[in-house]
Structure 1
Amino acid sequence: MKIALFGATGHVGHAILDEALARGADVTAIVRDPSRLTTKDDRVKVVTGDIANPESWLDAVRGSDVMIVSISARRDGSNDAVPAIAATVLDYLPKAGVKRLVWVGGAASLETSPGVRVIDDPHFPAAWKDEAQGQIKALEVFRHDKGEVQWTFISPSALLEDGPRTGKYRVGSDQLLMDANGKSHISVPDYAVALLDRVEKNDARRQRITVGY
């Protein structure tokens, strides 16, 4: 398996990198600052590039079986950055001959009851709203796409937190998953497990799914 990965220097992206390597994949990590990627492995090819500038990564991702994107617009300070990047990737990825895309999405658009989303809760943290809106807009970009890319948008549970890798999780669609105690959560390593399972099984194509306990 050959994977092109954006966001390998981030918390979730690094977990995805670790899981991919544990499964024997070869990874091309496209990063803006290579000095931030500390993983040393012969199967990791580090390329300097910016996802918003396709010319910086088109050649690097050719021959990949899948592109995985785990990005945040916190440094850009605009909730329009992420949906713009989603549109750019959908447009340019076929030019590199890559037809499969897996996107690390947010939980804010998941429903807690019919027509009520996580972000609609009056207790939703104000500090998270701008980033959450960016992912909500990105999901709409995917859902309106008429192109050939086989995308999957994977929302975590409400809490995506550090914890053990158990290899256990459930898969849902547009509704927030809760465990037996009413908690919506998944560990970062198990989120990475669920994501790489989708890559290996090549399922959930052109769908938004959610994963949790």
Structure 2
Amino acid sequence: MNITILGATGWIGGEITTQALLRNHQVTAIARNTEKLTAENVTLKNFDLQSDDDIAPLLAGADVVIASIGGRAAGNHELVARTAKRLLAALSGSNTRLLWVGGAGSLEVSAGVTLVSSPDFPAEYKDEALAQGEALEVFRATNTATQWTFVSPAAVIYPGASEGAYRIGGDEFFTNEQGESKISVTDYAIAMLDEAQHAAHINQRISVAY
């Protein structure tokens, strides 16, 4: 497959890039500064999402675009939902699917109650979580022919190797038998690539955790 990864220099985007290469996909990496990327056999393209330049030409020919956009590095959380709108528009009329690296904050801990609204949700991550929630609403509200999947990680995503298995959920926040919500970045990336290859959850939000 031809896979284009937007935000490939971030730690999640970087791991997705690594896993895509391990599966012998043709990978194009897009970032504001791709000089940080040292992986071989990757087509590098520089693009600043804060610019008004047309991103559509950079996405042409991709079977799947995977977008890992946080906004924190740019100091602009409004960038997240705006990029979701921008990518849906750019891919309109193509056969390219869009996979989005989402957040856990919009997962529901009970009916209609999101994780980010919990009193003990870490304040330092709240703006980013709310921004990802706004992006999810963009996907759900936009009338588009573009096929998308919003992939929320567990509450804790950490550097680490694969544990060999993961679980897929929907909008509901879920935990393991110890009451923990976690996933390694490696297994999150593996789940993302599995979705890219199998297209099992079109126009849905899914969550990934142990």
TM-score, with structure 2 as normaliser? 0.95
Question: Aligned ranges for residues 46-125 of structure 1 at < 5 Å?
Answer: 46-53=44-51, 55-94=53-92, 97-125=94-122
Q: What amino acid is aligned across from residue 25 of structure 1 in structure 2?
A: H
Q: 1:197 pairs with 169, 181, 194, which one? A: 194
Point out 4+ residue stretches in structure 1 off by more than 6 angstroms.
none
Does the C-alpha gap of structure 1 residues 101 and 54 become closer, same or farther in structure 2, counting only changes over 3 Å?
A: farther
Could you tell me how far apart the structure 2 residues matched to 1:8 and 1:189 are?
A: 14
Q: Compute the displacement of 1:175 (Å).
A: 0.7
Q: What amino acid is aligned across from residue 179 of structure 2 in structure 1?
A: G
CA deviations 1:48-91 (Å, max 9, x no partner) are 11245574532232111010000111133333221011111111
Aligned pair count?
210
Q: 2:129 pairs with 117, 129, 132, which one? A: 132
Could you tell me how far apart the structure 2 residues matched to 1:57 and 1:36 are?
A: 21
Could you tell me how far apart the structure 2 residues matched to 1:64 and 1:207 are?
A: 20
CA RMSD, 1 decimal: 1.5
Does the C-alpha gap of structure 1 residues 150 and 53 become closer, same or farther in structure 2, counting only changes over 3 Å?
A: farther
Confirm or deny that 1:38 pairs with 2:50.
no
Confirm or deny that 1:207 pairs with 2:190.
no
Unaligned 5+ residue runs, structure 1? Answer: none
Higher mean C-alpha displacement, 114-123 vs 141-150: 114-123
Q: Is the 8 A contact 2:70 2:77 kept in 1?
A: no
Q: Is the 8 A contact 1:62 1:98 kept in 2?
A: no
Unaligned 5+ residue runs, structure 2? Answer: none
Could you tell me how far apart the structure 1 residues matched to 2:34 and 2:190 are?
A: 25
State percent identity of aligned pairs: 42
Match of 2:177 in 1: 180
CA deviations 1:126-158 (Å, max 9, x no partner) are 111111111010000000011111000000011
SS at 1:135 equivalent: helix
SS at 2:92 equivalent: helix
Match of 2:7 in 1: 7
Question: Aligned ranges for residues 156-171 of structure 1 at < 5 Å?
Answer: 156-171=153-168
Could you tell me how far apart the structure 2 residues matched to 1:128 and 1:11 are?
A: 16
Does the C-alpha gap of structure 1 residues 56 and 47 become closer, same or farther in structure 2, counting only changes over 3 Å?
A: farther
SS at 1:133 equivalent: helix
Could you tell me how far apart the structure 2 residues matched to 1:3 and 1:69 are?
A: 11
Could you tell me how far apart the structure 1 residues matched to 2:19 and 2:191 are?
A: 10
Q: Is the 8 A contact 1:155 1:208 kept in 2?
A: yes
Does the C-alpha gap of structure 1 residues 56 and 49 become closer, same or farther in structure 2, counting only changes over 3 Å?
A: farther
Could you tell me how far apart the structure 1 residues matched to 2:6 and 2:15 are?
A: 12
CA deviations 1:88-129 (Å, max 9, x no partner) are 11111125x343000000000001122221111111111111
Q: 1:152 pairs with 129, 149, 154, which one? A: 149
